[in-house]
Structure 1
Amino acid sequence: MTNPLFPWLDHYPDGIPHQIDRAMESLGCHSLVDLFEESFSRHPQRTALEFMGVSMSYGQLDKLSQHFATYLQTLKLEPGARVAIMLPNVPQYLIAMLGTLRAAYVVVNVNPLYTSRELEHQLRDSGSEALIILENFAATYDAIADQHLVKQVIVTSVGDAIGAKGRVVNFVARYVKKMIPPWKFSHIRFNAAIKTGKHHEFHRPQVSMDDVAFLQYTGGTTGVSKGAVLLHRNVLANIVQIELWLSPALERKGDEQLVFLCALPMTHIFALTACAFLGIRKGGLLLLVANPRDIDGFIQFLINHPGIHIFPGVNTLFHALIHRPEFLKVKLPHLLVTIGGGMAVQKKTADLWHQLTGVPIAQGYGLSETSPVVCVNTPIITQFTGSIGMPLPATDVRILDDEGAELPFGQAGEIAIKGPQVMAGYWNQAQETLQCMTADGYFKSGDIGIMTPEGHVHIVDRKKDMIVVAGFKVFPNEIEEMISQLAGVRECAVIGMPHRKLGEVVIVYIVKDHPELSQAQVIEYCKLHMTNYKRPRKVMFIDEMPKSNVGKILRRHLRDL
């Protein structure tokens, strides 16, 4: 008989518990720090990561992250200080992220592709006191450096953590490929910070489950960027939930070291939890890919690494790979599970991926506010389901109408979530936190979904105006606010339109104030003020905006133009 309140529990694979209390107790960890330090002590000789063909052991990662933690302690930051990390998938990200947590500080993940304006907002809002940034993006901070937003900036180059080979990589990037724009702000080099920490004594602070681990920034339905406050207990719970859920697949390898592909940016919560932390928890090998957008280079990387077991990705990445003839040379005979997240996976893409790799894509769903995984298909599916799967252990999902009442199976409504992975709230935004929570403690996701009688969840749509470009959420209000400041723009409105590769793209409609305003001027302005995925792909000029009787622009009418 189906459980009327939690129907998905009757369809869990054998051996997966409904709750995680016992698993959390057996873990014996009181923080994320305990989790990765346990792996350090258990696997000191085992390879923890590989980057550009150079390996680093768990023992080395232990020492380097502790040295970095010690360096941060020399800065005399206040307890719970925020440390911003603006790095791609290089070893320095793991060293800095783990070191920050070991020093009992809070990690603020920053998208390396952000513009100066976007970086400034996040640094101001979080109150970050230190920034770790890749030299390639240092010019972004240089433009706002005179505002002295942080006490200390630590600059690193791509090859800083891989020895002699790294020095060659850095030389080529600077002087051959000229990939480093000029910058001049005061800073300390990453390796110098490590050296400083090495010569000081580390004082291990007490870190508890209720301490803040991450401020994970996300967009809100109003377009205001907010920091989701993730406690150590939130992220730790989600690691355990994912580990239990994937166990039917992972257990096939017994004691063999698992190999995790880390191609998605670890500053994104999906890759952070499902790749970095789960990989460390399992004593796995993390294969770091700094730039998966270089599809030719990425395919060659995959050809050279046939031993991958866990392949997390997003639809745009899968689509780009399988539509290259060279991908036919990729053989992944040990692949256990492909996880699709961040955006909806298209069936055509999933079917071709399955055909070429022999492994179906297990689509999942999550948010920054939920650490992130809420629902996912089981790893033992035999074909792509089209759904986002079932709620994880200890997770309750409800489908609510606009008044907050629960809807019957098969009816579309807002997805609401309760579970140990749900954030503590939004950073310094008590009102926003209140608005996103129901009276009985469910987080309102802003996404529209349907639940089947068996407990499988399907995404129908997002809140009406949100746009998702290659897995990144884009909010029209933010784009409109920026474009409206351009001389010659009287009114503007932004909508999303379907795109074969990216899911959606941004289109802006503009009523001109000055007839000489051109599409090229708008596009150039957006390049200066927005990161790539937020920029409009099309600029459309119209004579008049469709509006309601109270003067509100009706975006839905623009979709019919």
Structure 2
Amino acid sequence: MKTTSDLNESALPKTLSVSAQYDGISNTDISIQAFGDLLAHHPELPACHFGELSVSRAELSVGASNSANYLSSLGFTSGDVLAVWLPDSPAWLQLLFAAASLGVIVVPISTRYKVAEANHVIDQSRAKGLVIAKEFLDYDYVTAAASLKSSNSTLEHIICVDINAGLMSDGAVAHSSAVTASIQLPLITFSTSGTTGHPKLALHTQLGIAKHALNVSRALEVRAGDVMLCALPLYGVLGFGQALAAIAVGAACVLMPVFKGEDAAQAIERHGVTHSFGSDGLFERILDTTQYSLVSWRRAGFTEFAGLGQAICKKAEQDLNLLLTGLYGMSECLAIAATRFPQDDPGVRALGGGSPVSPEIRLRVIDGDTGLEVTEGDQGELQMTGYNIMTGYLHNEAASAGAFTADGWFKTGDLVRRTADGFIYLARLNDGMRLGGYLVDPSEIERFLTQHEGVIGAQVVAVKKQGTGDVAVAFVISADTELSEAKLLAYCKAGIANYKVPKRIIFVNEFPEKPGPNGVKILKTKLREMAAAELSV
């Protein structure tokens, strides 16, 4: 696994502190030698709210210690992998801090995944244990977990959790973990879709996560006693990042295992939410509610997936005097690696990108033809280095090596325009699609479609629609005259996450092609034109 120079073990500090000033806590107070020290201050304050339940920071810390003992009694040690297939809940956070104390790596699995998708994560991560919900919505996690255990030789333990009970109660465990793991060890992965179409697992250290949480809280003015609406799932890098930024300084997380705009607005009024970060579509649904007071909300940032950035910024400012700001991040470099600020020019404030949240995060923009850095105003690929960059993709050395330049900078694959103080995000350099806020490689859907016995070939493209964002359209070649669009859509809905299911499936006799120096190339541009025409009918 490739390791950036910023994470050279010999260069890592034993104690972490961040220059910041918060209500009742100074920068010298936020010094940690172990990941669990993030919970050490303000023990009386709530760590999270979950429905009618509230869990204090002290209770979460004790619960994490108990769960660490439990995991240790099952044989989990430093370097082992614990897959967490849970909706947002106090138990999710409890397991994170428990794993950190043992040096166990947490691999979150999307609750929107079905068995085949979860199996890929289990197989790739070589998970030793899997944590599932006893029940959540209408999915049978118990049966799914049994299937996963029978398919993966490394998977030894299935841990079933009642998320509605609050913190996990693992019973009396005599064994007590005597050693707290080094903050330099790996902590968590975030799934990302790469050029192969298979989700890869971007691995981050305890130190990188802790440092970023403190830096994000400083940059976004999160203080002890504040309240963070966590409307995005913890298994995603943005949902996780905002939750850890809150916990790091003593703010409370309002966890929402299922997002609904009205429920989120009600939570803002009930808990006096001060901060939240999400997508433009998510904020639109919250701002469209009228029966709840949102006046406590003072800071918010968003990633634009649905083309609604300017509209929600205008509405938030008019209705709440709330100045929304654009954000930037990804699984490999953590969410909110860069941000806009409320004082920025209104024409820029809603744009993706901005300035790094810490001077320790460095960026450059490289011209794809010359390999040289561009000057202000020019476009190129964004590259980054810093504590926030992953150490590599878990158990995937080839992909890890390809993600970095020869001099150790991470290649984001994003096209941006360089500015005096940062950058403006423009688009992905490849054909990646942003579906429902999730980055999806089209070849992942194409491969699934071609597994159907009636499908000879498949190509998937995205069409951007105002108010929705990217919409997936699949083109299929089939020799089965009985196969219909409805049947293939039902096949997709049964086998892949809902957000990956194409909006339309169009049958064609052949794909538009062009011969090239490396063989025949399918013309994705032509397919996008065809898809746009179909969607406009």
Which of 19, 24, 30 is equivalent to 1:23? 19
Q: How does 1:340-379 map to 2 (within 5 A)?
A: 340-341=302-303, 343=305, 346-379=309-342
Alpha-carbon separation, structure 1, partners of 2:173 and 2:118? 32
Secondary structure at 1:131 match in 2: strand
**Is 2:186 the counterpart of 1:212?**
yes
Aligned residue in 1 for 2:483: 517
Residues 75-127 of structure 1: per-residue CA shift (max 9 Å, x gap): 11242101011111111111122112122211111111101011001011101
Which of 237, 240, 258 is equivalent to 1:272? 240
Which of 167, 191, 195 is equivalent to 1:221? 195
Contact between 2:90 and 2:166, CA under 8 Å: does it hold in 1? yes
Secondary structure at 1:490 match in 2: strand
Secondary structure at 1:338 match in 2: strand
Cα deviation for residue 401 of structure 1 reads 2.1
Aligned residue in 2 for 1:285: 252
Contact between 1:132 and 1:156, CA under 8 Å: does it hold in 2? yes
Judged with a 3 Å threshold, the aligned counterparts in structure 2 of structure 1 residues 209 and 405 are, in CA distance, closer, same or farther, namely farther
Secondary structure at 1:533 match in 2: helix
Aligned residue in 1 for 2:376: 409
Judged with a 3 Å threshold, the aligned counterparts in structure 2 of structure 1 residues 205 and 556 are, in CA distance, closer, same or farther, namely farther
Contact between 2:461 and 2:524, CA under 8 Å: does it hold in 1? yes
Residues 333-392 of structure 1: per-residue CA shift (max 9 Å, x gap): 222211213747521232223322221211110011113332101254474442422122
**Is 2:366 the counterpart of 1:397?**
no
Alpha-carbon separation, structure 2, partners of 1:547 and 1:485? 23
Aligned residue in 1 for 2:282: 317
Question: Whose strand fraction is larger, Structure 1's or Structure 2's?
Answer: 2
Contact between 2:214 and 2:249, CA under 8 Å: does it hold in 1? no
**Is 2:109 the counterpart of 1:110?**
yes
Cα deviation for residue 531 of structure 1 reads 0.5
Secondary structure at 1:560 match in 2: helix
Judged with a 3 Å threshold, the aligned counterparts in structure 2 of structure 1 residues 268 and 481 are, in CA distance, closer, same or farther, namely same
Alpha-carbon separation, structure 2, partners of 1:97 and 1:345? 34
Which of 420, 427, 441 is equivalent to 1:461? 427
TM-score (norm 1): 0.83
Higher deviation after alignment, 56-65 or 498-507: 498-507
Residues 111-161 of structure 1: per-residue CA shift (max 9 Å, x gap): 111010110010111011111111234143344343255211111233122
Judged with a 3 Å threshold, the aligned counterparts in structure 2 of structure 1 residues 154 and 397 are, in CA distance, closer, same or farther, namely same
Contact between 2:462 and 2:472, CA under 8 Å: does it hold in 1? yes
Alpha-carbon separation, structure 1, partners of 2:367 and 2:345? 33
Aligned residue in 1 for 2:460: 494
Contact between 2:229 and 2:268, CA under 8 Å: does it hold in 1? no
Q: How does 1:242-257 map to 2 (within 5 A)?
A: 242-247=216-221, 250=222, 257=225
Aligned residue in 2 for 1:171: none
Aligned residue in 2 for 1:553: 522
Judged with a 3 Å threshold, the aligned counterparts in structure 2 of structure 1 residues 22 and 114 are, in CA distance, closer, same or farther, namely closer
Q: How does 1:228-239 map to 2 (within 5 A)?
A: 228-239=202-213
Residues 179-203 of structure 1: per-residue CA shift (max 9 Å, x gap): xxxxxxxxxxx53xx21xx332421
Q: How does 1:46-125 map to 2 (within 5 A)?
A: 46-125=45-124
Secondary structure at 1:515 match in 2: coil
Alpha-carbon separation, structure 2, partners of 1:410 and 1:153? 53
Alpha-carbon separation, structure 1, partners of 2:513 and 2:527? 10
Cα deviation for residue 461 of structure 1 reads 1.1
Question: Whose helix fraction is larger, Structure 1's or Structure 2's?
Answer: 1
Aligned residue in 2 for 1:450: 417
Where does structure 2 lack aligned partners over 5 or more consecutive residues?
1-15, 21-26, 531-537
Where does structure 1 lack aligned partners over 5 or more consecutive residues?
1-19, 163-189
Which of 471, 474, 485 is equivalent to 2:451? 485
Higher deviation after alignment, 379-388 or 459-468: 379-388
Aligned residue in 1 for 2:150: 146
Residues 206-229 of structure 1: per-residue CA shift (max 9 Å, x gap): 422321111222111221221111
Alpha-carbon separation, structure 2, partners of 1:31 and 1:97? 13
